A = this chain, B = another copy of it.
Amino acid sequence: MWNKRELQRKIEEWLHEDIGFGDITTMSTIPEEEQGTGILYAKEAGIIAGLPIAQLVFETVDPSITFVAKAGEGDRVEIGQQIAEVEGSARSILTGERLALNLLQRLSGIATRTNQYVQAIAGTKARVVDTRKTTPGLRLLEKYAVRVGGGHNHRFALYDAVMIKDNHIKGAGGIKMAVAAAREAIPHTMKIEVETESIEQVREALEAGADIIMLDNMDNERMKEAVQLIAGRAVVEASGGVTLETIRSIAETGVDVISVGALTHSVKALDISLDLNQRKR
């Protein structure tokens, strides 16, 4: 669901960051006509995300490279398993390798982590969603990796949904006035979410007509109470310090959505390598 043209422009910039005026090592040591076959393989088990992006990196470096995925996007791979094969000019493969790996490792790290959260609440009705705590410049890709890992997305940015927090409530003079002001300003095609810290605020948000009510850092008892109070009249989102240990009990309170900042703000790269066999043409 990401936009290919936008992505190509970003890849061009990232390649510029790493290559600048040229990969001086490769240009001076590898003959121009030398061919190679590179194998991308997992050095760690996890969920693979980013294969189409890695492919686009190599194709941007050199349109004559062929990239064949050996695993499906979202597949779980084991240590040593082949993920993709890339074939073409040895120079081009070496020049694109680092960016392709940096992206693939990061996105697979996110998908792997997301999937652990999703597995942890299997059987409940709740969705695991991300936040805006993403890496600057990589938001769309990171949110894509969350989906590949089985999660869902929260709003993309400040422009595609209203999220009324503490300071907005104070600025507008109360939840009711904040929701009314937003409703008047935004298209009828947009939703309004209100962040609440007490059952009292949940009630106010409900009366104000919020489409989504976020329960911020509430304990599970409070959340159950809120879910019963809301009774399907708004989407219920749990948020705040969610961990792999706590997520199942949160899901069991009956909330619809659980948002987890750690999906994207603290990523452990999945270890993936490229082995190149080169040959004279």
Contact = CB atoms under 8 A, between A and B. Distances in A.
A136 B136 contact: no
Which bucket holds chain A's interface residue count?
35 or more
Interface stretch (A103-111, A116-124, A246-254): A103-111
Given A24-B186, A102-B135, A29 B157 contact: no
A159 B24 contact: yes
A137 B136 contact: yes
Contact of A278 (B3, B34, B167, B187): B167
Q: Is the interface of A mostly helix, strand, loop or mixed?
A: mixed
Contacts of A80: none
Nearest to A109: B266
A25 B178 CA distance: 9
Nearest to A20: B159
B1 A181 contact: no
Copies of this protein chain in the complex: 6
Contacts of A132: 18, 98, 102
B158 A24 contact: yes
Contacts of A222: none
A76 interface: no
Given A22-B1, A171-B278, A266-B109, A161 B190 contact: yes
Interface stretch (A65-73, A147-155, A197-205, A223-231): A147-155
A17 to B, nearest CB: 5
A179 to B, nearest CB: 9
A20 B152 contact: no
B136 A103 contact: yes
B189 A28 contact: no
B94 A187 contact: no
B237 A172 contact: no
B13 A137 contact: yes
A196 to B, nearest CB: 15
Interface in A29-65: 29-31, 34, 36, 60
Given A17-B137, A137-B138, 20 more contacts: A1-B21, A1-B28, A3-B20, A6-B16, A18-B157, A20-B20, A21-B156, A22-B158, A24-B182, A25-B163, A28-B185, A31-B171, A94-B167, A95-B158, A98-B158, A109-B266, A133-B269, A136-B138, A156-B159, A190-B190
